[in-house]
Amino acid sequence: MLKKTPSLSSRTSEPSNEEKVKTINELRHKFPLADLLRICRIAKSSYYYGLKALKVKESKDKELRDKILEIYRKSRCRYGFKCITLMLNNNSSEPINHKRVQRIMHELGIFGIQGKNGKYHSYKKDNGEPKENLLLEKVIDEEKNRTIFKRHFEATAPNQKWTTDVSEFKHKDGKLYLSPIMDMYDGSIIAYDLSIHPDFNQTKRMIDKAFNQYDNLKGLIFHSDQGWQYQMRQYGLWLKSRGIKQSFSRKGNCMDNSLMENFFGILKNEMYYGHEYEFKTIDDLKKAIEDYIKWYNEERINIKRKGLSPLQYRQQSLSQL
């Protein structure tokens, strides 16, 4: 009898008192309470005590369930249990365990968006000039006779390390290209340009937007892959005139620019893949990307940033300088 109940069917070991109380509560309208208490080997007083505690727990779970659903919907189904836990704890005096949030989300059948990634490949040819990766450290492990490459993406303040790349969005009316600049310190998108043509003018517009925000960028490391636009002599001169150091990924090594790759993956998984049919025109798609970047910068929290959005983290850091 008891093995067929939902509360005990998956158990291979002795069930807990809470599970016994749940089982008795599920079956008491079918069988005498005394028989159920005897079979489950639980005292009547323990059953009623456990039933009261269960009702309190279910009441708290109901309140938490509503909050989880509200946060999940506001994030447009983008947040997983870790981000939702952070949001809950940011607005609660009583800490909430992430396992509890994960359990409730599983019961509700809601999960953070995950999906594939896509990339626009801008590499065409090498201009023959030396390209140094200023964020890569080569370490030789003589004991194990191997070479290890360590990537140093960390920064201690804003405007120490930037990265850029281009990503492609397909639409029935053509293609749209996003060219952003990310600050490695907080993950914020400093500037970006959207265009139907991935040409050098797009790169120029993006650079101008970034440069117009800051008077002094001397010493900044600006990292990219070996795309043709970043190998252009004019591009290098723009950076050099500002005292900016140019850094390149190794050819064919996407991990050397994984921060930007990760941003493109997040963006596409959360607002593009599965939503392509929603964008009737390329302008609709462009507006959606613009809205997403604004939301990403100002509202999207991150575990590494201690539950803050990129701009919140940036503003907090600047206020401490």
pLDDT score of 14 more than 70: yes
pLDDT tens for each residue of 99-145? 888 888 887 777 776 655 555 566 566 766 778 999 988 887 777 77
Structure tokens belonging to residue 254: 């996407």
Are 13 and 87 in a shared domain? Answer: no
Give the pLDDT of residue 221. 97
Are 287 and 217 in a shared domain? Answer: yes
User: Which residue range forms the structural domain that includes residue 4?
Assistant: 1-42
pTM over 0.85: no
Rounded distance between C-alpha atoms, residue 196 and residue 89, angstroms? 42
pLDDT score of 291 more than 80: yes
Q: Is residue 227 a contact partner of residue 221, using CB atoms and an 8 Å limit?
A: no
CB contact set of 321 (below 8 Å; sequence gap of 6+):
157
Q: How many domains does the chain have?
A: 3
Rounded to the nearest angstrom, the gap between the alpha carbon of residue 223 and the centroid of all alpha carbons in its chain is: 21
Are 300 and 176 in a shared domain? Answer: yes
Give the pLDDT of residue 201. 94
Q: Identify the CA nearest to 227 among candidates 219, 236, 238.
A: 236
Are 161 and 280 in a shared domain? Answer: yes
Give the pLDDT of residue 81. 83
Rounded distance between C-alpha atoms, residue 222 and residue 237, angstroms? 13
Per-residue buried b or exposed e for 9-45, using 16+ beta carbons within 10 Å of the residue's own CB:
eeeeeebebebbbbbbbebeeeeeeeebbeebebeee
Does 51 reside within a domain? Answer: no
Are 158 and 303 in a shared domain? Answer: yes
pLDDT tens for each residue of 304-317? 888 899 999 998 87
Q: Identify the CA nearest to 150 among candidates 127, 164, 133.
A: 133
pLDDT tens for each residue of 187-240? 999 999 999 999 999 999 999 999 999 989 999 999 999 999 999 999 999 999
Are 108 and 172 in a shared domain? Answer: no
Are 71 and 172 in a shared domain? Answer: no
Are 187 and 293 in a shared domain? Answer: yes
